[in-house]
Structure 1
Amino acid sequence: MKKKAIVLLGNKGKKYEYTRHNFGWLVGDLLSEKMDLFFRNEYTYSFAEKRIDEGFIYIVKPMTFMNLSGQPLKLFVKHKKIELENILVICDDVDLDFGRMKMRPFGGTGGHNGLASIVREVGTNQFPRLRLGIGRGKYGMVDHVLGTFSKPEKELLPSLLSKATDAIRDFFILDWQELMLKYNTKVSV
């Protein structure tokens, strides 16, 4: 039986709901809406699942804060018996301009504390990821990352979220060369 998981990095709580750091969760909310799925809480994560053909797709939100995302992910993949190459981690990225995304079959953390936590907990950086650009901002990293989207960003957000759900869909059907060619460019919205 095939199992794949989409792991969405973000912070729990209303305070963080529509911040740039929760870009991954926003993608997951749209994806679960499109797939008519509902999240349920278990241990230190929330997840939705859908049976497809001969397997399952899981959408997972670690319910710890971003910097501890690796703990619930490690627990989830162990509990559901999913190989790391069959997960796709979705996160924000300050090194990419807003409107860009980048898919990779593996890689470094790029200074992202959520990715660093995952690497620490699972013991490898050999897992796929989709990084969503939020840029660096003008007034300090923490304020930018934990801040809400600007008015111009909010106008582009629906198109970007839709494009990210397309990338997730394509993760299941395209090879890595095709994925990177298609999505590792400026997103046209």
Structure 2
Amino acid sequence: MDKYLICGLGNPGDEYARTRHNTGFMVLDAFAKEMGTTFQDKRYGFVAETSIKGRKVFLLKPTTFMNLSGNAVRYWLNKENIDQKRLLVISDDVALPLGAFRLKANGSNGGHNGLGHIQQLIGQDYPRLRMGIGNDYPKGAQIDWVLGQYSEDDMKQLQPSIDIAVNIIKSFVLAGMDITMNQFNKLGKK
């Protein structure tokens, strides 16, 4: 059976629940809800399992905190013997406006600490979905911004992208990266 690992980046704990840095967790929560599966506290993360047309999908919300996300990703890839090309990492991105998103087959970490740690441990050749959180903060205030809570208005702008991201995950599993990028990246431009 083909296996996939979908990892949403974020920080564990209620105090981080609605922060911009937890956008990856929000996407996975929406996907798990749609698929009718729930997360369990396992090694290095909250993990849920589901399947789409005979393909097994593992959902991972690392509990390592953002800067050590690679530990969780590497562990679950190895434990389940999943090819890196069947890993999709979902992260927040200050370089994209709120509600925009970008799907890429590989590339740099763009200064994102979670992606940076994953890259240190497994290289940069893995698919990622970057969810725009905007960058409406004064110079030097990036940490406060990414750890800041979404407002109700922000969530109204973000929700359509979360809904699309759920479909991106399904397409990634069923149709592969190239078709998914061609189909969805044009929708992600704001």
User: Same fold judged by TM-score > 0.5?
Assistant: yes
Match of 1:66 in 2: 66
**Aligned-pair Cα RMSD in Å:** 1.7
**Structure 1 residue 135: deviation in Å?**
1.3
Structure 1 SS opposite 2:183: helix
Measure the CA separation in 2 of the matches of 1:126 and 1:11: 23
Structure 2, unaligned runs of 5 or more: none
Task: Mark the CA change 1:168 to 1:52 in structure 2 (over 3 Å): closer, same or farther.
Answer: closer
Cα deviations by residue, 1:71-108 (Å, 9 ceiling, x for unpaired): 11111111111111011000000111111110011111
> Is 1:13–2:10 an aligned residue pair?
no
Task: Mark the CA change 1:130 to 1:167 in structure 2 (over 3 Å): closer, same or farther.
Answer: same
**Structure 1 residue 175: deviation in Å?**
4.4
Aligned pairs (5 A) from 1:46-65: 46-65=46-65
Structure 2 SS opposite 1:61: strand
Cα deviations by residue, 1:152-179 (Å, 9 ceiling, x for unpaired): 2122232221111111111123344432
> Is 1:108–2:86 an aligned residue pair?
no
Measure the CA separation in 2 of the matches of 1:87 and 1:172: 10
Match of 1:155 in 2: 156
Normalising by structure 1, we get a TM-score of 0.92
Measure the CA separation in 2 of the matches of 1:174 and 1:56: 14
Match of 1:129 in 2: 128
**Count of residue correspondences:** 188
**Amino acid across the alignment from 2:126:** F
Normalising by structure 2, we get a TM-score of 0.92
Cα deviations by residue, 1:31-78 (Å, 9 ceiling, x for unpaired): 100000011121111110124444411111111110100011111111
Measure the CA separation in 2 of the matches of 1:36 and 1:81: 24
Q: Which moved more, 1:3-12 or 1:143-152?
A: 143-152
**Structure 1 residue 151: deviation in Å?**
3.5
Task: Mark the CA change 1:76 to 1:16 in structure 2 (over 3 Å): closer, same or farther.
Answer: same
Task: Mark the CA change 1:19 to 1:49 in structure 2 (over 3 Å): closer, same or farther.
Answer: same
**Structure 1 residue 5: deviation in Å?**
1.1
**Structure 1 residue 186: deviation in Å?**
5.2
Structure 2 SS opposite 1:5: strand
State whether residues 94 and 134 of structure 2, in contact with CA within 8 Å, keep that contact through their aligned partners in structure 1. yes
